[in-house]
Structure 1
Amino acid sequence: MFPVFALIFLIVPVVEIYILIQVGQVIGALWTVFFVVLTAVIGVQLLKSQGLSTLSRAQQKMNSGEMPAKELMEGFALVIAGAFLLTPGFFTDTVGFLLLFPLTRSMIIGSLVARFMASGRFSMPNDYQSQYHPQSHQKKSSGDVIEGVKYHKDDE
């Protein structure tokens, strides 16, 4: 897992720099900086509205006694989208916007969940497993009750 993250942290900045240089050569350096800042500002505003919407849906589900699993995954995707949108560059902005819009976000989350489920490293509890049974966590009594008083040596 570590080599994958190391590779990502090496490749993404190189791709970003390459794209920024190419765009800068076409439209100019100032316009490139302007568009990078503009996408960050637009992204933060959209992130705020999407985040509040997701939070509201999660609260509604919790109030009705349901587990907001989908909303939690969407919230995590929105956090990642925010990080990508605040990172300067067009590649990370594209990934951030894909995670920000509900349609593409749900498609990405769905494919990731399907991938994890198929790998066997992730499972969703069924109805029986998700219910709490306090009796199953208590020790079984043998039926014999022994009454007594415990004295500590210092109390004598």
Structure 2
Amino acid sequence: MRIFLLLFLLFPLAELAVLIKVGSSIGVLPTILLLIISGMAGILLLRLAGFATAWRARERLARGELPEQEMLQGLMMAVAGGLLFLPGFLSDVIALLVLFPPTRRLFLGLVGRRIERQAQRRRAFEDDIRQRSGEQPANHRPNVIEGEWERRDK
């Protein structure tokens, strides 16, 4: 948790330092134009990513499949669009890394594995609590062997 607070405080300072460096290298007007263009690209990307993700998810749902991959990809595209919309060049570089398909697949793999580990950890924790309390799961049924029988009285 502390690392996120530290990043939250340091990221704007790093963005400001890069903006000052770029502004002093290429000039103020080109720097402002680059920031405006990247912001407009971010807004466009947010709109396109939303529509494309909704379309792919709808297709998967129509086939009776869960669109978890499409939802994660749409979330990554939305994050990239938001980062492009933020003024600054560091956020733009991170957004471009997320947009580049090979690195996006890498990020999706990392996020997917993290989600899977979290789900397994939660499942193991819930099973442990049930076992300690002696409670049976809601879908637990006794072992029943079905068969046919016939009564024969002699």
- TM-score, scaled to structure 2: 0.70
Aligned match of 1:40 = 39
**Which of 136, 140, 147 is residue 139 of structure 2 equivalent to?**
136
Aligned match of 1:78 = 77
Deviation at 1:72, TM superposition (A): 1.2
Instruction: Give per-residue Cα distances to partners, 1:42-83, cap 9 Å, x unaligned.
Output: 232233223322221111011111110111111221222222
Deviation at 1:31, TM superposition (A): 1.0
Q: Structure 1's 5 and 122: CA in aligned 2 closer, same or farther, altered over 3 A?
A: same
Corresponding position: 1:122 with 2:119: yes
Q: Distance in 1 between matches of 2:54 and 2:61?
A: 11
Corresponding position: 1:96 with 2:95: yes
Please, which runs of 5 or more residues in structure 2 have no aligned partner? Answer: 121-137, 142-154
Contact 1:62 1:68 (8 Å CA) reproduced: yes
Aligned match of 2:6 = 7
Q: Distance in 2 between matches of 1:111 and 1:20?
A: 30
Please, which runs of 5 or more residues in structure 1 have no aligned partner? Answer: 124-134, 139-156
Deviates more, 1:37-46 or 1:64-73: 37-46
Could you tell me which amino acid in structure 2 is paired with residue 40 of structure 1?
G
Deviation at 1:136, TM superposition (A): 3.0
Contact 1:80 1:96 (8 Å CA) reproduced: yes
Contact 2:45 2:81 (8 Å CA) reproduced: no
Q: Distance in 2 between matches of 1:94 and 1:17?
A: 14
Could you tell me which amino acid in structure 1 is paired with residue 17 of structure 2?
Y
Instruction: Give per-residue Cα distances to partners, 1:98-154, cap 9 Å, x unaligned.
Output: 22344432221112323454xx4234xxxxxxxxxxx9389xxxxxxxxxxxxxxxx
Contact 1:43 1:97 (8 Å CA) reproduced: no
The RMSD of aligned alpha carbons is: 2.4
Q: Distance in 2 between matches of 1:122 and 1:7?
A: 27
- TM-score, scaled to structure 1: 0.69
Deviation at 1:22, TM superposition (A): 0.5
Q: Structure 1's 88 and 65: CA in aligned 2 closer, same or farther, altered over 3 A?
A: same
The total of aligned residue pairs comes to 125
What fraction of aligned residue pairs are identical, expressed as a percent?
A: 35
Aligned match of 2:66 = 67
